[in-house]
A and B are shown apart, each in its own frame.
Chain A
Amino acid sequence: GAGVSQSPSNKVTEKGKDVELRCDPISGHTALYWYRQSLGQGLEFLIYFQGNSAPDKSGLPSDRFSAERTGGSVSTLTIQRTQQEDSAVYLCASSLEYGGGYEQYFGPGTRLTVT
């Protein structure tokens, strides 16, 4: 079946603009995760959803970041007033259920460049 998809694959934006990143998880996966990967760095956990609910938003880097998920499926990560330090690859992953032990399947990522 189809894997996790993300759009756009690349986004170049000017500093101060808002951007919206989209994630389509694997059908039937109840858990969805957002990560950020800076150049040559590891994966930084941002937020997760169980269904449409995000129990803890403390992983988001600042209040310019927000995320939502509707219908238990598609999720969007919004970055307001983008800064150059927001440049990174944003990865989405989904798993069948939430919790340790369920394999997370990653999407191809959105490469965000803030100029």
Chain B
Amino acid sequence: GENVEQHPSTLSVQEGDSAVIKCTYSDSASNYFPWYKQELGKRPQLIIDIRSNVGEKKDQRIAVTLNKTAKHFSLHITETQPEDSAVYFCAATPPYSGGGADGLTFGKGTHLIIQP
């Protein structure tokens, strides 16, 4: 099955600086890579996703890059703000197999702390 590694586990940056979170995956068949943000005590919410036919996707201050050859993808947050403080999870999933346990395989999360 798929295995997703996420680094770092904790990231502290000054407000206004950029933050980068990296993930690697094991299953070369995976083709969908979402990123979820989870604030303390709240449910995970999708912030951006990328499919394997795209190398980069941007949404305002958030961008995701994907390197299929190296099997890694990254989340980039620019001009960080206090409300960006949360736990961020990356995930990967292969195409529908019709029989496997095909949920999302999540990384263990990165606790992003924005220092004022």
A residues near B (Cβ < 8 Å) are 33, 35, 41-48, 55-56, 58-59, 91, 98-101, 103-109
Contacts and interface: CB of A to CB of B under 8 A. Distances in A.
A106 B104 CA distance: 12
Across the A-B interface, the 10 shortest Cβ-Cβ residue pairs: A45-B103, A100-B32, A99-B96, A42-B108, A106-B43, A43-B106, A100-B93, A59-B101, A56-B101, A42-B106
B6 to A, nearest CB: 8
Interface of B: 6, 30-32, 34, 36, 42-46, 49, 51, 89, 91, 93-96, 98-109
A37 to B, nearest CB: 9
Given A43-B44, A43-B106, A108-B42, A103 B34 contact: yes
Contact of A43 (B89, B93, B94): B89
13 contacts: A35-B103, A43-B91, A43-B104, A47-B103, A48-B101, A55-B99, A100-B32, A103-B49, A104-B46, A105-B46, A106-B45, A107-B43, A109-B43
A101 B32 contact: yes
B59 to A, nearest CB: 14
A91 B107 CA distance: 16
Contact of A42 (B43, B49, B89, B99): B89
B106 to A, nearest CB: 4
Contacts of B109: 41-42
A108 B38 CA distance: 11
Nearest to B42: A108
Contacts of A106: 36, 43-45
B104 A104 contact: yes
Nearest to B4: A42
Contact of B43 (A46, A56, A91, A99): A91
B43 A103 contact: no
A79 to B, nearest CB: 18
Contacts of A100: 30-32, 93-96, 102
